[in-house]
Structure 1
Amino acid sequence: MDTERDTAADIALIQRISAVPTILQLLCETTGLGFAAVARVTDEAWTACAVLDRVGFGLQPGSTLELTTTFCQGICRTRTPVIFDHASTDADFRDHPTPKLYGFESYISVPIIRRDGSVFGTICGLDPKPVPLRGGKVLPVLTLFAELVAAQLEIEERLDASRTALLDAEAMGALREQFIAVLGHDLRNPLAAVSAGVTLLARRPQDDRTPAILGRMRQSCRRMAALVDDILDFARGRLGGGIAVRRDLVALAAPLHEVVDELRSVHPTRDIRAEIALPDPVRCDPRRIAQLLSNLLANALTHGAPDRPVRVTARGTAGGLTLAVANEGPPIPPGTRARLFQPFSRDADGPRAGLGLGLYIAAEIARSHGGTLGVVSDAAGTAFTLDLPPG
């Protein structure tokens, strides 16, 4: 698939060079050849990128030829042009299978060499009838055309790089703005709660309300600490090549049960059902896997049907781990599902309980363990599943 995308990009690159059609037309008119093309030549294939066909040769942009049936493999390897006027009478080419296979008598091909020394492919022309090509200015002119195409390729590639850099800069700018806006919104409330609590305690002697005020302040502090942790994990994931993990052989059941118990205490009215069967140690970072479960479970409690249970299942799989969190409720819309694991992705109409980094961080934790985090969402509900390979 990557090769197909690269080839399509090469064709598009040549198609964007406005001088190429004129070059092919001049090639045919100055030589008398009926077919001319610019081709991308790789170790695997010959692919036409631009074509002028006046003799019904049958190729068009995107057409491919078996590389071994052409002259171009040798041309690109030796960086030497091939030229002949009349294959049937030429001592070097009358027994060559290529002219007979494709039915041409006259042929010229020159490599297109970039400034860095790499070979893009060839510019070539041919005709089923003999055409005088050797001698004169045909080869120097075609060599000049090849150099012109190579120069234009470099210009287009630089333009592509500039466009990509500009888009990346614009995306990063939008990300920064979104980051600042979201962070400002989500830290404002807990900071205000702490500030109000401190002010209230400073104005009144301690009484039976003091523990409740202190409890709210502690909760706000924990919330801010969690936001800061999310920010740091986000920065590590985006800038540091992934979230760092330590993969030790550990008994994972207890840390997972702790996460479930913690979320049960925060949501005492919700039905959280856990089936954690991990009799054998799992090679992972237990703190990070607990963080992943906490993020998934909090997400399920936020978006799942409040009167239906949320289910947590964990199973050991031949030294690996399968961990799933499922909730009932409306399915995730396809548009939302496509960006679930992107940073700052959350429902604008839903509860604004965080930075929208939870699922992104969960996916990064999975990736750092060499595992995957997937989601299935339909009318029956939504399930996130972590699969970790054996250590």
Structure 2
Amino acid sequence: MVQQDDFLFADIERVNQIPIVKTMLEVICRSTGMGFAAVARVTEDRWIACSVQDEIGFGLTPGDELEIGTTICNEIRASGEAVVIDHVDESESYCGHPTPRMYGFKSYISLPIRLKSGEFFGTLCAIDPKPNQLQNPRVMGMFHLFAELLAFHLDNIRLMERTHTAMQDLAAQLVASNDENRQYRHISSHNLQEPLRKLRVFSDMLVNATDRNEAEKAKEFAVKIRTSAQQFSMMIKDLSDFSGLTSKSSFADVRLDRVVADVMAQLSPQIEHRSIEIETLRLPTVMAVPEQMEQLFYQLLHNAVKFAGHDEPPRIRISSREMALHEIEDLLREPLQMAYAEIRVEDNGVGIEDSQLEKVFDIFARLPTGAFGQGEGVGLAYCRKIVRNHKGIIKAEANPGKGTTFVITLPLFN
């Protein structure tokens, strides 16, 4: 019997978190006439029952183990192929096999459960002391669908567990910033709740469709579950990337004119497609993390290109100036003892309402963007975090319908 301190105990718990697993096993027994069905965790040296439907008194309960060498599931783990036996006595491969005699079954079916990573998790299996007709498209289709759904749910549960850990790590990294803490609370209570809500709703619908043996409906809801999980996964990746932007990286002298030239080369297909005119004046050298400066200007220029105007020839202007001492003292609470530069990235695009100027820097901001519908992402949130990592500030100045200017203040290389 697996104990709570066993590292595989968590996998039993994960299987039993899946809302449809009990229904699956009941449907298998009802629709095939098999008396025992189970989801098993199978490793190189262990076979563990995670969830069971026992209508023949086989005697296994969740957490019970069988000697791995006595199971056919061990062979499935090695081959990765399903095993289906209608009648052991008539099977060339298994008529003399010790396992059917040991456990007293005549019919057997078992399919591998393989996760998205390729990891072999275990099997979905069923046995009965009587022969059965299992090798037909209806039974095989049902088992394949159920095995895929189990794998999908297990992947999703592991993703949620990693999300919880990532959230804890993210919260620790954001604790120094009240603004980022506010965003974290908003993300937890709003942004991440929508895909989770969809996962719960479609899982319930899938349970109902499975219970009614509506295979097509079950597939439809499985696709919707997969889509919501992919959305959730992308949001977690964005959060992970965001939390990875730290000020602990190596600083060096960075020529911003070279950075902007590299970024413009990366964006050249979009720039040429829109015939965007870009004017770049002399830019300074700053003490910075090179990769973060490239990401900063990539996000700013990509944003400017994306929302460049259509009513007149689109233009982007990048300029800089060294700031006077009194300007720095008015702008920054604790300015460094060095010169600062103000860098402006201006476009003549759709612009932003004054009420939205601060919100554009929030993670997963959803803001009105005129004829372009809604924008959603973390690009400008990256920008603000990068600028903060470099002891600077960033703000947006905008006139709706006339364009947007992003103003970055950074300490100069000294």
Same fold (TM over 0.5): no
TM (norm. structure 1) is 0.43
TM (norm. structure 2) is 0.41
Pick the structure with greater CA Rg: 1
